[in-house]
Amino acid sequence: MIKKSQIKSDANNLKQAIRIVYKSDKRLFYVRIGLIILQSVLPLAFLYMVKLLVDKITSNINNPESTDLSPIIIYAVLFCAIFLLTRAASVFNQLSDRILSQKLTNYISNLLHHKSTELDLSFYDNPVYHDTFHRAQQEANYRPIQLINSLASFLRNLLSLIGVIALLVSFSWVVILIMILAGLPSLWVKLVKAKIFYNWRKKNTEANRKAAYMSKLMTARDFAKEIRMFRLKEYFQKQFFTIRQKLLKENINISTRQAKLDFLTSIFEAAALMIIIYLISKEAFAGAITIGSFVMYFEAFRRGQRFMQGVVTNLSGIYDTKLFLSNLFEFLNLQPQIKSPENPVPFPKNLSTGIRFDEVSFKYPGSEKKILDKLNLHLKPEEISKIHGENGSGKTTLIKLICRLYECTEGAIYIENINIKKFDLYELRKNISVIFQDFATFDLSARDNITLGSIEDKNNKAKMLRSAEYSQARPVIENLPQQYETMLGKFFAKGEELSMGQWQRIALARTLYSDAPIILLDEPTSWMDEKAANHFLENLQKLKRDKLILLVSHSIKKEFEHIKID
């Protein structure tokens, strides 16, 4: 039994999907509705015009003295006009569908990107999130437009079916009843099939993700060297093939069973057609209807069957799409736990007391192990504070907590004696510049790689050159073919690949490009040669005025204040 809450949820999903299509392009949305109505009326006009034309031709044949062909010519012109209008409506419908589909794809991609970048990092630590995102991503680009197309086709077929019923009602209610009953088995089979396929695909989300990951291992540049050197091609190919073969076998079994049921439903439709041919022929032989009426009723029933089958297909399509849309909305309905307060406190213009950790404990979601346990720490401005400790002691985690990428499990972090939870998230992160140990390498120009550090001030050439100088990136960039305009990485044409040490200098330049008063450096020289690292650390001394700098590093340099994390 279908629950009331499920019906309400399904209806809400349908409304949301229609709203998304509407927002992607309001004008095209209304154009599609107009075309739907037009395309549902034209077939009925076409049928009626066939009846008039056949009856007039039959009348002239039976009456040789009649030589007036003007009515036939008029009917023929109207017939051709309806035909031309039908083709024109179809062309415009296809055009509007292509444009709306592309706009909808762009609109939904923006929704997915916005939601994905809004969520906390903790979501990425959860396999369930990856399943949810995978399903949403797989369905997002085409399901909403598929729903609209199914709804549009359903409305068009339904209106046409109602018109056919209006024509057939003058002949017999029995004909209408036979036509409807013949379509019900097909509807039941298609709804069951949609539910079975949905459950199968949802159950196998992780298997599909794993197959996609195996494919990525064999095709992405990041893994290319190890795949070749450790001779892993056959190993991963076998794993990929095994997963895909299992999914294919299950798919074939389900599809085969459904195909048998689909064939059985066609027997009902063929039997209905046979009965109708007999009934209409009997009336025509008895002289109860004209030849034109015979053609109209027969064609009306045949089209009625097609419209009925269309309605059945559309309903199953709507049901199928509704099931998969729940994946998209399940993802879009996710909410971040780390949010800005309703009434944020302005971020301090100057730093005098710095950053303070008060009894801070932290463990990652789903883990019982405490990475930090009641940590008390004071980082002062106009100093370079250095944190060192063993791997896994929480040095990188400490930086993530300052940035509010994660929340403290216990305790609190203060900037200028204000709990960081009281700041607007955007303002907090705008006032912190950071290089992570696993820094990003953007396949963009050298200029873009640096100036992304302060997107609001992206065209400041003097600041860009200064950042490149301080980070030791300048000699690297000046040796590139187009210097700052050179594309980095090999993903796009004319890109120049860099060593990890060179990439790290670029990432440092991006960090220093920001005017943020707080600079957090996580192993900033781990990939650099000793000479470049020493030059950077010397330059770092010039930057500490009016700034708070935290340096996480394994190497020890005596002029910095050291804080050990156990």
Instruction: Report pLDDT for 283.
Output: 72
Domains of the chain plus CATH, in order, are: 4-332 (1.20.1560.10), 355-564 (3.40.50.300)
Pairing relationship of beta strands 432-435 and 518-522 according to DSSP bridges: parallel
Instruction: Report pLDDT for 556.
Output: 47
Sign for the CA dihedral angle at 555, 557, 558, 564 comes to negative
Q: Which residues of the chain have pLDDT under 70?
A: 1-7, 9-11, 13, 60-62, 64-69, 134-135, 137-145, 225-226, 229-230, 289-293, 295-297, 305, 316, 319-325, 554-566
Please report where in the chains the tokens 């062309």 appear, as a residue.
91
Helix (H, G, I), strand (E, B) or coil at 66: coil
Smallest CA-to-CA distance from 237 within 225, 227, 246, 247 is with: 227
Please report where in the chains the tokens 């990041």 appear, as a residue.
222
Per the confidence metrics, is the pTM higher than 0.75?
no
Instruction: Report pLDDT for 3.
Output: 60
Which segments of 293-383 are extended strands (E)? 355-362, 372-379
Instruction: Report pLDDT for 129.
Output: 74
Helix (H, G, I), strand (E, B) or coil at 250: helix
* Nearest-angstrom CA–CA distance, 449 and 446: 5
What is the tens place of the pLDDT at every residue in 304-328? 767 777 777 777 677 666 666 677 7
At 435, give phi and psi (nearest 5°). Answer: -120, 125
Instruction: Report pLDDT for 203.
Output: 83
What is the tens place of the pLDDT at every residue in 236-288? 888 888 988 888 888 888 888 878 877 777 777 777 777 777 777 777 777 77
At 356, give phi and psi (nearest 5°). Answer: -130, 130
* 158 neighbors 283 (Cβ within 8 angstroms): no
Instruction: Report pLDDT for 416.
Output: 92
Strand partners of residue 519: 433, 549
Pairing relationship of beta strands 372-379 and 384-388 according to DSSP bridges: unpaired
Instruction: Report pLDDT for 346.
Output: 93
Instruction: Report pLDDT for 559.
Output: 40
Instruction: Report pLDDT for 50.
Output: 74
